[in-house]
Structure 1
């Protein structure tokens, strides 16, 4: 083999380097390579290796630790941590729905957690295309849900859903998505179905659900009420202790609410009636549902900020609009579309916009106040993605046609499988980011300690 000559300091030529020189050059090369790579990997240092193993540079033969039916190879590669995009400012909550022929990732026959009224395929929904979409953020990718990854992040931790039946809808979606790895066991502290706890024994993880449709203390005043859906007393400045006394040990708290505030209600503050929403009571001022909604979220966040022993992260899941067309919910309204809207085909407006803005304003105020006490708040913004999915509701496919039930067309809840599964795609991505954020905070804290030493 012919070698190119090497110029030596003496000026003479040699066709071979001394052994010690070779070793020195190798050491220099390796050192430079390491110094080059470290800045690239810096945001991910200290982060669990299972989140990094599907990086774009990984061998094409790499396989997920869970069966390949969870995600196809391209999507596992995409899970490759487009986290960097998010860290650079990508808004995962703004985007469009795109086709996903790999979906769904579970069915109504493989998951027992689906609520009957959201079991659309069981009750004869004829189309299936509503299950075959995924969310594509503007400017980055949102990986399809990886159940093993989620459970590993949640290992030894606990997560609670606090809210109404749409919150329960998301929890059941999560159980179904995770069922490809493990089913939980029921460890509920009460037989009341409104308060459930599920444990993943292999991961020592708990998922819980706390029913609180108004988020605050409430009581049914009249079972019929002006709209035949009940008239409720809402105590706008009082905590709902059914959940506020139970959450201190949880690591993650997902709070949500909205649709129950359309129902007639009488508002109390300081134990006195201050107004109502469509209560039709004499000498009681109608302050609208928006007044009650704002005060309810304000009080719920105040409850969280007042819990000295709650060290978890509070996540607000934003309002998900309903999609009634050709009438309101009890006057023939229905949702019969079979494909998503594009973002330029509809807009958040009217009541939906007002409810969303109230949530955002109260969330930001609570976040500012909570920061003084070391509380952490995050935003799970499902509003746009949900607004674009009029095709994802049960409509009349929540019961058999011949059943004598007093149910209206359901354009509020979501079929399972269905668009609501994407809410948990969002949630997983947020938990990944939380891991990186925590690591960076620890590094920053370490830097500060070093400076003061």
Structure 2
């Protein structure tokens, strides 16, 4: 029996509730877990962070059904474009889909930042494109401490291939908080955290919106005539007791309730700009018959300070202090719920099919 789209409630507003049936894979059953997100391998002592599901306030959100998803995607292709959280998301998808089928690596390169996977039985291709700024960018120095980003220029590492894909999921956020030199029309228009003489100081706010604007323009201009653009909104980090390179950590072991924290500061600003640019692009794309979809997962992920690797993404290093990771997500972990959101949103948008078998 095929599940139908749910009552049209806001699936992105809700709470995390216990789910004793989770997780649906382990680090022993899924080989596509990045080492730095393999928290159980590296000795994380608690496991409760894997045993929660998202409960919308006015309805239920079904657990991801890999067979149903693959049937919807039969003969299709999906690209994840953005930063390492996008790659984290795709690796979660591979683990969840492994209950139905393992993919074949059909990548054009050995670079794990540009991987392609084929689900042969469904003729479905899934790919990841590393593009943390979504536009053309280059390092200014060998250390990578300062980055030039060209706000009005496409990042051809992904835009040149985007016509091959039916669904494009884009994301971005954390990298815009670093030292950046902003360019438009091949000229410097400002700089963030660089203190150069005779160069205007700009914050990430203006550049962030323009980068998304350029990315959407690339998809609309170069994507195929039926491409579906999906924005997966910003996933907040959870550093406490210091910033990322000054001893900050994330040692909580359970989710927040929605009344225990709120979206504020740069997290709120990033999210707001994303939604503004999404709505602007969606309006233009609709006139051309193109579909835009929103995965507004920010609030759900804000409530999961317990889901990060912290210091369980590597073995303890003698004579070496490595920053704790409170940005990426353990696998299995909270990021698996993004698949629940994705499948339900696809169904609500009318992308349905009939799986050959149910998943329980």
TM-score range, shorter chain: over 0.9
Is residue 419 from structure 1 mapped to residue 338 from structure 2 by the alignment? no
- The 2-side partners of 1:133 and 1:220 are apart by 40
Taking the TM superposition and a 5 Å limit, the aligned residue runs for 1:156-171 are 156-171=75-90
Which residue does 1:186 correspond to in 2? Answer: 105
Check 1:180–1:305 CA distance in 2 against 1; reply closer, same or farther (3 A cut). Answer: same
Match for 2:289 among 353, 356, 374? 374
Q: Which runs of at least 4 in structure 1 moved beyond 3 Å after TM superposition?
A: 403-407
- For 1:85, the equivalent position in structure 2 comes to 7
**C-alpha separation between the residues in 2 aligned to 1:391 and 1:261?**
24
Would the alpha carbon gap of residues 437 and 100 (structure 1) be closer, same or farther in structure 2, given more than 3 Å must change? closer
Other-structure match for 1:33: none
- Which whole-Å CA distance do the structure 1 matches of 2:335 and 2:301 have between them? 8
Q: CA deviation at 1:294?
A: 1.2
CA distance in 2, matches of 1:148, 1:140: 23
Within-5 A mapping of 1:305-320: 305-307=220-222, 309-320=224-235
Q: How does 1:3-402 map to 2 (within 5 A)?
A: 53=1, 80-81=3-4, 83-86=5-8, 90-224=9-143, 230-307=145-222, 309-402=224-317
Superposition deviation, residue 437 in structure 1: 8.6
Deviations 1:136-177 (A, max 9, x none): 001111011111111111111111100010000000000000
Contact 1:304/1:310 (CA < 8 Å) preserved in 2? no
The alignment covers a number of residue pairs equal to 353
Structure 2: distance between partners of 1:310 and 1:245: 15
Kept in 1, the 8 Å contact 2:50–2:333? The answer is yes
TM-score, length basis structure 1 = 0.76
Distance 1:308 1:160, change over 3 A: closer
- SS of residue paired to 1:194: coil
Q: Please state whether the residue corresponding to 1:321 is helix, strand or coil.
A: coil
2:358 corresponds to which residue? none
Q: Contact 1:103–1:133 (CA<8 Å) still a contact in 2?
A: yes
Deviation per residue, 1:152-203 (Å, 9 max, x gap): 1111111110001000000000000001111100011223222111000011
Give the conservation status (yes or no) of the 8 Å contact 2:12–2:300: yes
Cα distance in 2 for residues equivalent to 1:311 and 1:207: 17
Indicate conservation of the 8 Å contact 2:346/2:352, yes or no.
no
Q: CA deviation at 1:310?
A: 4.2
Q: Which moved further from structure 2: 258-267 or 403-412?
A: 403-412
Q: CA deviation at 1:407?
A: 3.5
Structure 1 window deviating more from structure 2 (388-397 vs 365-374): it is 365-374
Cα contact 2:6–2:60 (8 A) shared by 1: no
Cα-to-partner distance string for 1:32-91 (whole Å, 9 max, x where unaligned): xxxxxxxxxxxxxxxxxxxxx15xxxxxxxxxxxxxxxxxxxxxxxxx43x2402xxx01
| Deviation string, structure 1 residues 6-27 (Cα, Å, up to 9, x no partner) | xxxxxxxxxxxxxxxxxxxxxx
Secondary structure class of the residue paired with 1:175 = helix
278-287 vs 343-352, which moves further: 278-287
Aligned counterpart for 2:323 among listed residues 408, 415, 433: 408
Task: Extract unaligned runs of 5+ from structure 2.
Answer: 354-360
Check conservation: 1:248, 1:311, Cα contact below 8 A. Answer: no
Give, in whole Å, the separation in 1 of the partners of 2:307 and 2:266: 20
- Contact kept in structure 2, 1:98 and 1:134, CA below 8 Å: yes
Q: CA deviation at 1:280?
A: 2.3
- What TM-score results when the alignment is normalised by the length of structure 2? 0.95
- CA deviation string 1:257-311 (max 9, x = no partner): 0011111010001111000111222221221111221111111111112226342
Would you say the 8 A contact 1:323–1:390 is kept in 2? yes
CA contact (8 A) 2:166 2:224 kept: no
| Aligned residue in 1 for 2:356 | none
